[in-house]
Amino acid sequence: MKLTKKKILVTGADGFIGSHLVESLVRMGADVRALNCYNSFNSWGWLETVKCLDQIEVVSGDIRDPHYCKEITNEIDVIFHLAALIAIPYSYSAPDSYIDTNVKGTLNICQAALENKCARVVHTSTSEVYGTAQYVPIDEKHPLQPQSPYSASKIGADAIAMSFNNSFDLPVTIVRPFNTYGPRQSARAVIPTIITQIASGMKEIKLGDVSPTRDFNYVNDTCRGFIGLAECEQAIGETVNIGSNYEISVGDTLELIKELMNSEVHFITDDSRLRAEKSEVFRLWCDNSLIRKLTGFEPEYDIRRGLQKTIDWFTQPENLARYKTGIYNV
């Protein structure tokens, strides 16, 4: 099913990946309804910066409300469900909120999609559900390990989504992105943390543990993966990784960013950024064989090219000004 001219709902559209996905969908001619998390400031998050704002329908609400979910999924063909609480450190403080939003919110979206007979539901998972790799690269059969309340909530959300496929034939695909980065990402993530601290003139970069490895993916590639899987009938009922099949440590990522930004900053450990030992995910490396088989997906951005584009965006004064670089953002 091609998405051109289809009526599409993107939940979490006001966020980092969601706003980029909205732009990608508009470019391909989709009719997009973008869900923004309700707030009294009437802020639309990153949607306020997209060039296609006049081409989308922005609605504000909360996926924790089942009645609202039924309302916004009416006459929708395809749902991209990205709305979630995602900050791992905050999940230590507010695990109940993560269950309400991530598990119950997913239940509400799936129930609404079923009642409104939506043609496809693309549910967003995370590589964090795998925990520290038991083998590499990590394929979709890797055991799930709830090493944080966040990852536990996403494991639960994934199970709810797939249960609707198994029980009611809801056409669900679970997409499991590895570590996405790029313009607009929250400074709670390691790459924006490094870039914004260097760009703001700091001489010492505060980070947690720099030994863990990640499979970083530029946001445009992640969005291409979402769209490719949504258009693939064979992906219905499947859980599919989106990643680059490339592993790099946080420490080596720091060194590469320093090189690209011509910086001589020094790294210091900030204890407040360290996870508990059993909660830290030490190794993530994606096996992307399945998405390649299903859609022909190949990343277009290697780590150097993607980091340069990310640096170029964050170092624009109007963008850097949006970030509180001196405050650790959980």
Q: How far is residue 136 CA from its own chain's centroid?
A: 22
**Are residues 202 and 76 part of one domain?**
no
Q: What is the pLDDT of residue 5?
A: 96
**Residue 328 covered by a domain:** no
pLDDT at residue 208 above 90?
Answer: no
3-state helix, strand, coil in the chain (%, to 5): 40, 15, 40
Domain extent at residue 155: 7-180+217-242
Whether residues 50 and 140 fall in one domain: yes
Q: What is the per-residue pLDDT across 281-322, written as a single tens digit (0 to 9) for each?
A: 999 999 999 999 999 999 999 999 999 999 999 999 999 999
The verdict on 167 and 237 lying in the same domain is yes
In a domain, 326, yes or no: no
User: What confidence tier does 272 reach under pLDDT thresholds 50, 70, 90?
Assistant: confident
Task: Please tell me the distance from the alpha carbon of residue 227 to that of residue 29, in angstroms, as a whole number.
Answer: 13
- pLDDT over 90 for what percent of the chain? 91
Specify if 295 maps to a domain.
no
Q: What tokens were used for 200?
A: 């703001």
184 Cβ contact list (under 8 Å, min separation 6): 16, 19, 20, 46, 49, 219, 313
Say if residue 2's pLDDT is above 90: yes
Chain mean position to CA 68 = 23
Which range has the worst mean pLDDT, 69-73, 144-148, 165-169, 325-329? 325-329
Same domain, 175 and 54: yes
The predicted pLDDT at position 42 comes to: 94
Is 202 within the bounds of a domain?
Answer: yes
DSSP 273: G
- Enter the DSSP assignment of 138: B
- How large is the average pLDDT for residues 109-121? 98
Q: Angle of helix 190-199 relative to helix 250-260, nearest 10 degrees?
A: 30
My answer on whether 250 and 119 are in the same domain is no
Total of domains in the chain: 2
CA distance readout (Å), 23 to 17, 34, 43: 10, 11, 18
What CATH number is given to the structural domain containing 38? 3.40.50.720
Q: What is the DSSP secondary-structure string of 18-73?
A: HHHHHHHHHHTT-EEEEEEE--TT---GGGGG-TTGGGSEEEEE-TT-HHHHHHHT
In the predicted structure, residue 17 carries a pLDDT above the cut 80: yes
pLDDT at 188: 87
Q: Does the structure show a pLDDT above 90 at 328?
A: no
Confidence (pLDDT) at 288: 98
Which pLDDT does position 155 carry in this prediction? 98
Predicted pLDDT at 276: 82
Backbone angles phi, psi at 34, to 5 degrees: -110, 120
Peptide bond into 299 cis (omega under 30): no
Q: Residues 218-232: what's their mean pLDDT?
A: 98
Q: Are residues 132 and 196 in the same domain?
A: no
- pLDDT, mean over the chain: 96
Please tell me whether residue 163 adopts helix, strand or coil conformation: helix
Task: Give the 3-state secondary structure of residue 277.
Answer: coil
Distance of alpha carbon 103 from alpha carbon 157, whole angstroms: 4
Residue 168's identity, in one-letter code, is F
Q: Rounded to an integer, what distance in angstroms lies between the CA atom of residue 40 and that of residue 18?
A: 21
Mean pLDDT in residue range 21-25: 98
Residue 273 has a pLDDT of 80
- 296: in domain: no
Which residues, including other chains, have CB under 8 Å from residue 224's CB and lie 6 or more apart? 24, 297, 300
Residue 277 has a pLDDT of: 84
Q: Based on the domain organization, do 114 and 87 belong to the same domain?
A: yes
pLDDT digits (tens, 9 = 90+) for 177-197: 999 999 999 988 999 999 999
The pTM of the full predicted model, rounded to 2 decimals, is 0.97
The pLDDT score that the predictor gives to residue 270 is: 78
**pLDDT-derived band of residue 271, with 50, 70 and 90 as boundaries?**
confident
Query: Does the pLDDT of residue 146 top 80, yes or no?
Result: yes
Q: Quote the tokens at residue 125.
A: 């998972």
Assigned domain for 113 exists: yes
Alpha-carbon distance of 179 to 216, in angstroms, equals: 5
In eight-state DSSP terms, residue 189 is S
How many other CB atoms are found less than 10 A from the CB of residue 204?
11
Task: Indicate whether 71 pLDDT > 80.
Answer: yes
